[in-house]
Copies of this chain bind each other. A is one copy, B any other.
Amino acid sequence: MNPEIISFVKDHFTELSEPSLQEGIASAGVIREFKEGEVIMNFGSFVKGVPLVVKGSIKVVREDEEDNREVLLYFLKAGETCSMSFSCCMMEKRSDIRTTAEDDSKIIIIPIKYANDWMSTYPSWRNFVMRSYDSRMQELVKTLDSIAFKKMDERLWDYLMKRSKAHNAKSIHSTHQEIANDLNASREAISRLLKQLEKKGSIALERNKIVLL
């Protein structure tokens, strides 16, 4: 039983307000920390538990079956959980996603057994899980929209906004190539569009860094 966990839950998961559930999380949960860039879970690995993010920002991507190209699914920040992982461990199947820490991050891992039991015992847990499924689903559909309908310039802008939100900072630390990968675009196209944004005065470009204005 880890009292630190209780305060994390109170801070970031207000919905999970039953004291006995909070105690359950504090007893069953394990805190894990990841450095920026560190891979939390890779393709093909078994998921040992449900992750509750308490600090930082997690990037969730999926790898294409044929090629080894990636699709960015979404970012997770404090107060959120990964529904994909959730269903993975419910179904006891291998992960088809990869999660990496975008920033230094802290996560509470809830072993499957508890996550599952609580679905019947705690309405608030059940609700939390359902709500989280729902919002992940919404995210996915929005991403779909975006890829289907929008042109690169708008997608890039949306992406910069999303990342800035996930980090809660106005500067984004990565190379044009990395951004191009996330958007499934060419590095040149991204460089040119970023230049345009810079000319418009929306951003400032530095090496390995983009500052939103």
Interface residues of A (CB under 8 A from B): 62, 64-67, 69, 71, 73, 83-84, 87, 90-91, 96, 119-121, 123, 126-127, 130-131, 133-134, 136-138, 140-141, 143-145, 147-149, 184
Cα distance A69–B121 when bound, in Å? 42
Contacts known (A84-B137, A87-B130); A147 close to B144, Cβ less than 8 A: yes
Give this chain's copy count. Answer: 2
A-B CB proximity, top 7 nearest: A87-B134, A120-B120, A140-B140, A90-B130, A148-B184, A133-B133, A147-B147
A83 to B133, Cβ gap below 8 A? yes
Nearest B residue to A90 by beta-carbon distance? Answer: B130
Cα distance A119–B121 when bound, in Å? 10
Residues of B within 8 Å of A148, CB to CB, are 64, 69, 71, 147, 184
A137 to B134, Cβ gap below 8 A? no
Residues of B within 8 Å of A144, CB to CB, are 62, 71, 73, 140, 143-144, 147
Nearest B residue to A131 by beta-carbon distance? Answer: B91
Cα distance A64–B142 when bound, in Å? 9
A145 to B87, Cβ gap below 8 A? no
Cα distance A123–B126 when bound, in Å? 13
B73 to A141, Cβ gap below 8 A? yes
Chain B nearest CB from A87 CB (Å) reads 4
Residues of B within 8 Å of A120, CB to CB, are 119-121, 123, 126
Q: List 15 A-B contacts (CB under 8 A).
A: A64-B145, A65-B145, A69-B148, A71-B141, A73-B141, A91-B134, A96-B141, A119-B119, A119-B126, A133-B137, A140-B140, A140-B144, A144-B144, A148-B184, A149-B184
Residues of B within 8 Å of A66, CB to CB, are 149
Contacts known (A87-B133, A91-B131); A62 close to B140, Cβ less than 8 A: no
B145 to A62, Cβ gap below 8 A? yes
A149 to B87, Cβ gap below 8 A? no
From B126, B131, B134, B137, contact of A140 by CB (8 A): B137
Residues of B within 8 Å of A123, CB to CB, are 120
